[in-house]
Amino acid sequence: MPSADVVIEPSPVTDLCEVVALYRSVGWTAYADAPTTLEAALRGSSRVVTARRSGTLVGLARVITDGATICYLQDVLVHPDARGIGIGRDLVEASLRPYAHVRQKVLLTDHEPGQRAFYESLGFSETRDYGPGTLRAFVRFDS
């Protein structure tokens, strides 16, 4: 559970510089190096939830959804200095709360240590865990 000085709430992002700094702090330079695109992505998201500690942005998560059949969890990030106290878990839960009725929740993430355990603790499973021939995931990245 985050400490009392951490506030997690739905929030429009108004200071692009602090958002870019947060993305840069976790090494997500593809986003940080394209701030105009990042700003458009945040504005186009269905829901953005932020975490602030003593007023400073330390975490962010966003959701893209049709609100009925699919909910895509995107960009869950927590500043390295604020990890390990439950901020990531609270961001995910707060982001998905309005979409509890939506059956399919999806995310695509890097293959970093701890990612699998973190998302499994939140009820997610890797597609490969459903067994051969049951589920596939595809992705396409265009430059």
pLDDT tens series, the chain, 143 aa: 666 789 999 988 889 999 999 999 999 999 999 999 999 999 999 999 999 999 999 999 999 999 999 999 999 999 999 999 999 999 999 999 999 999 999 998 888 878 889 999 999 988 888 777 778 888 888 87
* Residue 61 placed within a domain: yes
* Residue 138 placed within a domain: no
* Residue 139 placed within a domain: no
Q: Which secondary structure element, helix H or strand E, spans residue 8, and what is its range?
A: strand 6-10
* Residue 142 placed within a domain: no
Domain extent, residue 45, equals: 6-130
Q: What is the pLDDT of residue 34?
A: 97
* Residue 32 placed within a domain: yes
* Residue 57 placed within a domain: yes
* Residue 104 placed within a domain: yes
d(CA 25, CA 95) in angstroms, rounded, equals: 21
Number of domains in the chain: 1
CATH of the domain at 68: 3.40.630.30
